[in-house]
Amino acid sequence: MTTLLIAEHDNEVLNAQTAHALTAARALGQPVHILVAGAGCAAVADAAARLEGVERVLLADDASLAAQLAEPVSALIVGLAERYDAVVAAATTTGKNLLPRVAALLDVMQVSDIVTVVSPSTFKRPVYAGNAIETVETSDTIRVLTVRTTAFDAAGAGEAAPIDTVPAAADPGLSRHVSDEVARSERPELAAARIVVSGGRALGSKEKFDALMLPLADKLGAAIGASRAAVDAGYAPNDWQVGQTGKVVAPDLYIACGISGAIQHLAGMKDAKVIVAINSDPNAPIFALADYGLVGDIFTLVPELTEAL
């Protein structure tokens, strides 16, 4: 049988997370087909076809799929599912929204946020904000999986796979897209960045957050993250939040500035290769994790660090 991987995209560009999820999908040991569902998304299908180890790309191009709402996309996937014994997606907000709906329609339990493929039916996944790793074996014949993309390397480029066009399912008309408010950024995407600099509540205001964090990020070519406290206080937009309920990142270098290190924040960044913490409180939990800790006033040390780089 075959594995179906759902492509993550914005109708124009294939998101890098798809290549990471592909590595997990290939670890199931079956040929992989990628489904590109959207509107005006032929370029995405071309990009997906050039990923290493993809046997076939299915392109469903229809106006009803433009916003990739869960209802029409899950109807499409369920219609295709009898040909597949695994359906896989990256654990992005799109994947998390879509796949449990698919799983329930197929009457199977999903395995969320897998970090290791032990066997085609056994997976490891973090629970309790990453404080425990659970190994679960599923008895369902169709495996529905979302993938923690930071746990898998990106698949490389391969020979172009054939692209088949598939029709969209009848639109169930259960929801309607109204508008998007996209936070545009010149900086690297948070989930994929090699370096992340992150600020917390100690920054005190949006002005100070910007004044300290933006120059440091720009100097390092880094993405900017934030703790929940900083986001809730309005210092940073919510899609910058790193943690159990925000984004999970695993960059080469993570610099936490004025972040104490609550369990929920650590869940989102403790797999970074190198962690640096700058904090005025020498007892902050973040220092127990940090490879390099620096105690002192962030308003002095962060500009000093930016200057020294």
Partner 1 sequence: MKVLVAVKRVADANVRVRVKADGTGVELDNVKMSMNPFCEIALEEAVRLKEAGKATEVIAVSIGPAKAEDTLRTALAMGADRAILIQADGRVEPLAVAKLLKAVTEKEGVDLVLLGKQAIDDDSNQTGQMLAALLGRGQATFASKLDIADGVATVTREVDGGLQTIALPLPAVVTSDLRMNEPRFASLPNIMKARSKPLAKTQAADYGVDVAPRQTVLKVEEPAGRKGGAMVGSVAELVEKLKTEARVI
Which member of 11, 18, 64, 92 binds partner 1 (CB under 8 A)? Answer: 92
Cβ distance to partner 1 smaller for residue 72 or 168 = 72
Name the phi and psi angles at 299, rounded to 5: -70, -20
Q: How many whole angstroms separate alpha carbon 98 and alpha carbon 102?
A: 7
Which residues ranging from 28 to 87 are in contact with partner 1 (CB under 8 A)?
67, 69-71, 74
Three-class SS state of 262:
coil
Question: How near is the Cβ of 75 to partner 1 at its closest, in Å?
Answer: 10
Of 48, 59, 57, which Cα lies nearest the Cα of 158? 48
CB atoms within 10 A of CB 86: 23
Which member of 30, 116, 264, 280 binds partner 1 (CB under 8 A)? Answer: 264
Cβ distance to partner 1 smaller for residue 259 or 275 = 275
Which member of 13, 127, 157, 170 binds partner 1 (CB under 8 A)? Answer: 127
Range in contact with partner 1 (rule: CB under 8 A) among 31-39, 46-54, 92-100, 150-158: 92-100
Q: How many whole angstroms separate alpha carbon 266 and alpha carbon 287?
A: 11
Question: How near is the Cβ of 266 to partner 1 at its closest, in Å?
Answer: 10
Cβ distance to partner 1 smaller for residue 159 or 308 = 308
Contacts of residue 189, defined as CB under 8 A and 6 or more positions apart, other chains included, come to 16, 223
Measuring CA to CA, how many Å separate 190 from each of 230, 244, 271, 300?
16, 15, 14, 26
Question: How near is the Cβ of 165 to partner 1 at its closest, in Å?
Answer: 26
C-alpha dihedral sign at 215, 216, 222, 223? negative
**Is 50 one of the annotated binding-site residues?**
no
**Is 244 one of the annotated binding-site residues?**
yes
Q: Does 116 contact partner 1 by CB under 8 A?
A: no
Which amino acids are annotated as binding site for FAD, given as ranges? 201, 227-228, 241-245, 258-265, 279, 297-298
